Structure 1
Amino acid sequence: MKKHLLLVWIVAACQLTVSQAQSTLNYPGRYMGQEEVQLFTAPNGAVADAGFAKILQLIYPQPTIEKTAEGIWVIGGYSIANFVVIETDEGLIVIDTGDSEEEGKIIREVIRENISKKPIIAAIYTHSHYCLGTGALVDDPKTAIIIGHKKLNETVQTALNAGGAIAAIPELGPVLSARKAIQFNNFLPDTGEDGLLGGRIRDKKNAYLPANKVVENEEIVKIGGMDFQFFTEYKSDDYNLTIWLPKQKVVINNFYWPGIPNLYSIRGASYRDPTEWRDGLQVMRDLKPENMVNTHARTVSGAKEVFEAISHYMDMVTLVYDQSLRGVLHGLGPDELRYFVYLPKHLADFPNNAQAYGEVPWFTPAAFYHQMGWFDRDVSTLQKLPPVEEAQRTVALMGGRKKVLQAAKTSFGKRELAWAAQLGNYLFTIDPKDAETRKLLADVYRAMGQSSLSMIGRTFFLSEARALEGKEQLPRVVPPKPENIAGKPTFFVNMYRVRIDPRKSENTEKMLVFNFSNGTTAGLHVRRGIAEFVPNPAKHYRPADLTCTVDTKTWADLYLNATTLDEASKSGGVKMTKGSLDDLKAVMDLFDKFDPAKNYTIPVSDTEF
C-alpha cells in the first residue's frame, strides 16, 4: 500500500513538473521578429549577425605566427585549423599538418622563413581531421616519427578509401559528403552578402603519412630530447590526442573550440557523447596548464585564465547535456527540448560559449534520439501522413495556395521568419517548381542565414537560398571517386546492394559473381527483394548463376553509371564466364543507377562535384 501511494505521488509530481517545464520553454524570438538582430558586414562583403565580429577575436582570422612559450609557436590563419611548431635541440616537431599536400608545403615555407631552418623530424596528430600535409612537411618521411591515436590510421584510411565523409553506416557516406560540402562553404561565393565566413574544405591531393608510433593513455614519449605526455581516453568530434608538455606547462588539444562544442553536427555524424567531451576537458583542467593551445581557437595564456576558460566551457557542455536529460525526464519530446535549456548568464556570456558554430537547440534532441529513437510518445505520429499529402491537406484547410502564400509573405514582412519558412515549405513540398514560393523561401532563408548565430546555420540557410534562386546546385549525394571504387572493388559491391529495388526484384533469384582484375572476388545474391553481399562466393550455399570477369576501372564506371554493360562488354572491361550478358543486364537493371540529374535537391546546373 505504501509503495502504491509513493508511486502515485511520484507520477503526480512529474506531471506537475511537466506543466511547469513547458511554461518556461525558451522561444526562438530571434527568428520570430521578437529580438532585434544586429548585422555586420565582413571585409569580404558577407552579411551576418554582429556576433560574428566578436567570434573573429577568438580565432586567427589572418595569417599569424604567435610565440606561446620558449620554443613553442602557433601558426594560425593559414588553414581551417592551427599548426603548432616545437623546437628541440634535434629538430622541429609539428602538431597537425593541414588538409592537403598543398597546405603542408605552404606551412613548411612559413616555418623556414619565420621560425627555424632546422629539420622537421616529427609530426603529431591531435586527431584525424588535419593530418594530410605531413609528407610535404617533414624532412625525411622514412625516418620521421609520426605519432597518433590508436584509432587514427584506421579512421583516416577509411575516409581516404571510401572517398567520402566518415560514416557509422558506410553506405550513407555519400549523403554525409554532400552535407559536409554545404557546411564548409562550397556553395557560397568568396565575396558579396552571401560571401563565406570561415574555411572552405575541398578535396585536394594529400600527403598523409600513417602514424608509426601509436601512444597509450598517459604514455610519456621523449622526442628530440623533450618529454611529451599523451592522453587518449576521451573523444570530442574525433578520437583525440591531448598533448601535455610538463616542463613548459603547455597543453595542446582538440576539446576547446571558438564557440560552444558542436555536440551534434547538422551535416550528420555519429553520436557525440557530451560526457566524454566534458571529461576530456576535465583532464586538461586538472593538469593545471599555464598555456592552452587549441586546434581552432586562439591560445589561452595564464594559469588563472586557462582554469577559468576550461571551467566555463566544461560547465556549458555539462549544462546542455544534463538539462537535455532533465527535459526528457519531464516528458518532453525532441522538438520541445530544443527550447527547454536555460543558459545561465555567466555561461552564456563567456566568449567561447557563443553559439557560433552550432546552436544549442540543435544539440538537445540528439540525446533524446540517441536513447529513445524517433518516437516521442505522441501516438498521432505512429501512422503519419506522407509529407506531400500532409502539406496538401494543411494548405487546403488554410484556404488554399494563395492564402498560404500571402500569409507567408505577411509573416516575412513582420520578420516572423520561422513561421514564414514553415508556411512556405508546405507550398514547396506540394510544388517545388512554384516560382513565387521559391522566391519567397529564398528571401526567408537568406534573412534567417544573416540572423543566424552560428556559422553552420548561416551556411546552410544561404546555400539553400542560392539554390532556390538557381545560383547553385546542392547535391543530395557526393559519390565516391572512381579511383576509390577501383581500389576496393569488393567493398563497393557490398555498397551496391542497397540500391536494389524490391518492386522490380521481388520475383527474381540470381547469384552473381564478380571476378575482378586485381584478383579479388565477391558476389551478390539477388533474392526476391534483397541483395545479399557474398564475400566468398565459393562457400555460399547457392552456386553462381552468372559469373563475369570485370576490370576494376570498368567496375568503377558501372558503379557511377558512367558506362553501360554493353559498352563495357565491347571494350573488354566485362567478360562473361557463365551465363549471358543479356541475363546480367536484366539483373543489374533491378538496381538503381546513379543519375546526377536526379540526385540534387533543387536541380539547376552542374557542380564541381
Structure 2
Amino acid sequence: MKTKQLIGYPLLFSMLALSQAALAYDFTAKTKDASTYTKQANEQVYKELDFSNKTAFADTDRGFIAPLLNNGDIDGVFSATAMNYMQDKKAPASVNPSLWRHAQLVNRGGLYKVNDHIYQVRGQDLSNLTVIETDSGIVLYDVEYSGKALKASLDLYEKHRGKRELKGVIISHSHADHFGGFAGIYAAGLATPEDVKSGKLPVYAPEGFVEEAVSENVNAGNIMARRAGYQYGNVLKINEKGIVTGALGPALANDASTLPIPNHFITKDGETVKIDGVDFVFYLVPATEAPAEMVMFIPKWNALSMAEDVNHLQHNIYTLRGAQIRDAAAWAKYINLALGRWGDKVEVQFGPHTWPVWGNKNVVEYMKDQRDLYQSLFDTTLRYANYGYGPDEIAENAKLPKSVFNKWDNRPYYGNLKNNLKSTYIRNLGWYDGNAAKLAAYPDAERGQRYVEAFGGEQKVLDAALKSFNKGDYRFATELLNNIVASNPKNQKAVLLMADALEQLGYQEETALNRNWYLAGAQELRMGGNVPNSLATTSPDVIAALPADSLMPYLGIITDQIKAEKAGNHLINLNLKGEKPYSIDLHNGVFNTMGDFSAKNAEVTLDISKLDLLTFLAGKSPMSDLVKAGKAKVTGDAKVLDKLPGLFDLTIRNDMNLVLPLQAGNRIK
C-alpha cells in the first residue's frame, strides 16, 4: 500500500507543477513575441545558407525605370508602401531570415525594362504585368488579379512609355492572379467588352483554359477564395508578426476578380501566332503549375517565358488553397523540353512572377536547377514509397541533394518541401498509405472527444500541451490542443494556447504560405471565428459571364438536393439567348442537363437570357414580371418554373471557419 502511494507521489507532483505552469501562462488573445526556441531556430538559418550572395539583389533592380504610382497604394485593395517594411533591415526574431531575404527581393516594385521591347510592372499585385511592344502597339502578357491594380500598372507604363494601341492579350494559364484583373483593360480605355466578344481584340489562352478556370474559380470558388485569404495573408496585419510577402509577389490584391472568355485558344504545340508583326511560338504544358498552361518563345528577340513553370523559388505541387495536385514529373519534363528547344538561343527568361534572368548561360543554368528540383521531388517520393514509406514518413525523413535544395532559387518560399513530397505521393498513390488504421480514423470533432476522454479530461490534455509548448514542441502542442478545440471550442485556454503555438510555428516558417496559414489560424482562434474576407472569384458578374456549358454544371453544384427532391421530378427545356438549347431533367433532387437537346415531352419551355435566369433563380424577379417585361417567354406549365427559386445556393457565406468548427450559420442544414 505504501509502495503504491510512493509511486503516485511523483505523478501528483508533476500534475501540480503543470497546473502551476498553467496558472502562470499568459492565456490572452494578444499577439506574442518570438519565443527563445523560435529565436534559436531562426538564428540557425544563417549558418545553413549563404547570405553573402547578393546576385539576386542586383538582378531585381536591373532595368529599373520608375517607382509605382502613389508608391503602389490603392485604397482598400493594395499597399505596396506597407509591404516594403523589411527593406534594408535585419530579419526580426518573428520571421525566418531566409523568407525575410526573399521578401526584400520580391517586394520591390516599379516599372522595369527587360529588353528594348519588353517591359514589366512588378510589385503592384501578386503577379507582374508584362507589356510587349510590337510594331505599332502593345501586347499584354497576363493581367494581374485585380482590375484596379492592373489599371494602376497600365497608368505607370503609359506615363513613361506613352499610350499605345492594344493589339492583343496573352493569358498564360488558368489561375485567377493571371486573368482576374482583365477589367482593368476596360478601365484604362484600351478596349471594350464588345472588342473581346467580337474578336477585334484577340485574347489568347491555352486549350482548356475556360474549363479549368471555372473548375477552380467558380465550381470550388467560394471555399478557394476563403482559403486564399488565409494562404496569402489577406486576413493578417502587415507587420513583422503578420504578412511578410506573398512569395510570388508582395501580396494578392484584396479585390474581386473577373473572368474573361478568350476568343483564341492554342491547341497544338509549336503553334505560331503573329501579332502586329511579332511571332509568338507557343507550347502547351498541361498538368504542370496549372492544368491548362502554355509557355512561349519570341524568336525575334530570343526571349522565353516559361509562364509560372520556373520562378525564383520552389513552387507548389499542391496548393493549400485547394486545387488539383500537380505532376512534378511532367513539370520537370517540360522544363527539360524547353531547354532542348531553345537552350542554345535564349537570351532572356521572363515570367509573370519574380524577376527575369539574362544571358544564355545564366538562363540555362537557372532552368536546369528548376528542372532538377521537380524531378528530384518526384523521383525521391516514388523511391521511398517503393520501400514502403507513407507520405508523412517521406516528408519527414527523405534525404535530398543540397546542391539542388540549398540554392536560393529553389528554396521553399511558396511551395513547402514537406507538402510537396506528400502531395507527390498522393497524386501517384492516393491518400491511403496502406495502414488499415487510417481507414477507421474519426473526423476531428469525433476523434477529439474520444481523445480527451481517454486522456482523462480536458485539463490533462491542456497541461500536456502546455508542457510541450514550454519545451518548444509547438507541433505536438498544436496536435494535442486541436483535440479539445475540435470537440469543445468554448475551452478558451485551449483555444488561446493553440493560437500561440500556431503563431510560433509561423514565425519559424521559411514558406510564406505556411507562415500565413499558421498566423491566420492563430488570428481565427483569437477572434473566435468569422474572420472577414474580401477575396471573391464567384461574383455575380463572373457567374453571368460563364458560357452556358459552364453555367449548367455550376447550377448543379449549388442545388440544394433535399429541397429539389421535395419539388418533385420535372423536365424543362431552356433556351438561353445567344446559346444552344438545353434540356433540364430535375430528377430525384439531382439537376441533370443536356446541351444541344430539347426534350419532346418537356412540361415547360423557357426562353430567357442568362442574367435574367440568374435573377429569377435568386428569387429577385418573379417569372410573371419577366414575362410581362418581355424578358422571358414561357410555353407550357409555368407553375413548374415557380418551384425553382430557392433551390440554388447562389449566395454562400465566405467567412466560414477553417480552424474552429464551422459556425452554425454556415453549415448545410
- Per the normalisation by structure 2, the TM-score is 0.71
Counterpart for residue 102 of structure 2: 55
Counterpart for residue 240 of structure 1: 293
Q: Deviations over 1:504-558 (max 9, x none)?
A: 999x69213567795676545343xx525244899779975x9999997686468
Counterpart for residue 358 of structure 1: 415
Counterpart for residue 99 of structure 1: 145
Query: Taking structure 1 as reference, are residues 118 and 535 closer, same or farther at Cα in structure 2, changes over 3 Å only?
Result: closer
Letter of the 1:66 counterpart: Y
Distance in 1 (CA, whole Å) between partners of 2:600 and 2:441 is 41
Q: 1:125 aligns with which of 164, 171, 184?
A: 171
1:78 aligns with 2:124: yes
Distance in 2 (CA, whole Å) between partners of 1:427 and 1:201 is 35
Cα contact 1:91–1:119 (8 A) shared by 2: yes
1:283 Cα offset (Å): 3.1
Counterpart for residue 109 of structure 1: 155
1:116 Cα offset (Å): 4.4
1:533 aligns with 2:592: yes
Counterpart for residue 165 of structure 1: 216
1:428 Cα offset (Å): 0.8
Query: Taking structure 1 as reference, are residues 140 and 373 closer, same or farther at Cα in structure 2, changes over 3 Å only?
Result: closer
Cα contact 2:41–2:508 (8 A) shared by 1: no
Distance in 1 (CA, whole Å) between partners of 2:664 and 2:109 is 35
Letter of the 1:217 counterpart: D
Q: Deviations over 1:186-216 (max 9, x none)?
A: 3123446224523124444759472447474
1:391 Cα offset (Å): 2.0
Cα contact 1:259–1:357 (8 A) shared by 2: yes
Q: Deviations over 1:427-452 (max 9, x none)?
A: 01111222112111111112222222
Q: 1:459 aligns with which of 490, 513, 516?
A: 516
Cα contact 1:516–1:549 (8 A) shared by 2: yes
1:182 aligns with 2:230: yes
1:315 aligns with 2:372: yes
Letter of the 2:353 counterpart: H
1:418 aligns with 2:466: no
Counterpart for residue 504 of structure 2: 447
Matches within 5 A, 1:535-550: 535=594
1:318 Cα offset (Å): 0.6
1:260 aligns with 2:260: no
Cα contact 1:442–1:466 (8 A) shared by 2: yes
Cα contact 1:66–1:74 (8 A) shared by 2: yes
Cα contact 1:64–1:75 (8 A) shared by 2: yes
Counterpart for residue 390 of structure 1: 447
1:282 Cα offset (Å): 1.6
In the comparison of the two structures, how many residue pairs are matched? 559
Cα contact 2:112–2:121 (8 A) shared by 1: yes
Q: Deviations over 1:277-309 (max 9, x none)?
A: 112222333322222112212111222222221
Letter of the 1:148 counterpart: Y
Cα contact 2:549–2:595 (8 A) shared by 1: no
1:127 Cα offset (Å): 2.6
Unmatched segments (≥5 aa) in structure 1: 1-29
Counterpart for residue 72 of structure 2: none
Cα contact 2:295–2:305 (8 A) shared by 1: yes
Q: Deviations over 1:324-379 (max 9, x none)?
A: 11121111222222223322222122111111002111112223322332322111
1:96 Cα offset (Å): 2.3
Query: Taking structure 1 as reference, are residues 578 and 433 closer, same or farther at Cα in structure 2, changes over 3 Å only?
Result: farther
Letter of the 1:323 counterpart: T
Letter of the 2:139 counterpart: I
Distance in 2 (CA, whole Å) between partners of 1:35 and 1:484 is 48
Cα contact 2:216–2:323 (8 A) shared by 1: no
Query: Taking structure 1 as reference, are residues 458 and 501 closer, same or farther at Cα in structure 2, changes over 3 Å only?
Result: same
In structure 1, the residue corresponding to 2:113 is in which secondary structure? strand
In structure 1, the residue corresponding to 2:169 is in which secondary structure? strand
Q: Deviations over 1:200-247 (max 9, x none)?
A: 244447594724474742234444444433222455322333222334
Unmatched segments (≥5 aa) in structure 2: 1-34, 47-81, 87-91
Query: Taking structure 1 as reference, are residues 432 and 135 closer, same or farther at Cα in structure 2, changes over 3 Å only?
Result: same
Q: Deviations over 1:564-584 (max 9, x none)?
A: xxx958978999975979x97
1:370 aligns with 2:416: no
Cα contact 1:33–1:417 (8 A) shared by 2: no
Distance in 2 (CA, whole Å) between partners of 1:122 and 1:452 is 41
Cα contact 2:572–2:602 (8 A) shared by 1: no
1:273 aligns with 2:327: yes
Counterpart for residue 70 of structure 2: none
Distance in 1 (CA, whole Å) between partners of 2:408 and 2:318 is 20
Distance in 1 (CA, whole Å) between partners of 2:120 and 2:287 is 23
Distance in 2 (CA, whole Å) between partners of 1:316 and 1:322 is 10
Cα contact 2:173–2:294 (8 A) shared by 1: yes
Distance in 1 (CA, whole Å) between partners of 2:130 and 2:186 is 16
In structure 1, the residue corresponding to 2:202 is in which secondary structure? strand
Distance in 1 (CA, whole Å) between partners of 2:314 and 2:101 is 14
Greater CA drift, 444-453 or 94-103: 94-103
Counterpart for residue 15 of structure 1: none
Q: Deviations over 1:396-430 (max 9, x none)?
A: 22221101111112211222111011001000111
Letter of the 1:301 counterpart: W
Greater CA drift, 373-382 or 517-526: 517-526
Letter of the 1:236 counterpart: T
Query: Taking structure 1 as reference, are residues 31 and 218 closer, same or farther at Cα in structure 2, changes over 3 Å only?
Result: farther
Cα contact 2:605–2:635 (8 A) shared by 1: yes
Distance in 2 (CA, whole Å) between partners of 1:485 and 1:202 is 20
Letter of the 1:176 counterpart: M
1:323 Cα offset (Å): 0.6
Counterpart for residue 218 of structure 1: 270
Distance in 1 (CA, whole Å) between partners of 2:116 and 2:610 is 53
Q: Deviations over 1:28-50 (max 9, x none)?
A: xx999796124999754894222
Cα contact 2:117–2:134 (8 A) shared by 1: yes
Cα contact 1:512–1:547 (8 A) shared by 2: no
Letter of the 1:268 counterpart: G
In structure 2, the residue corresponding to 1:109 is in which secondary structure? helix
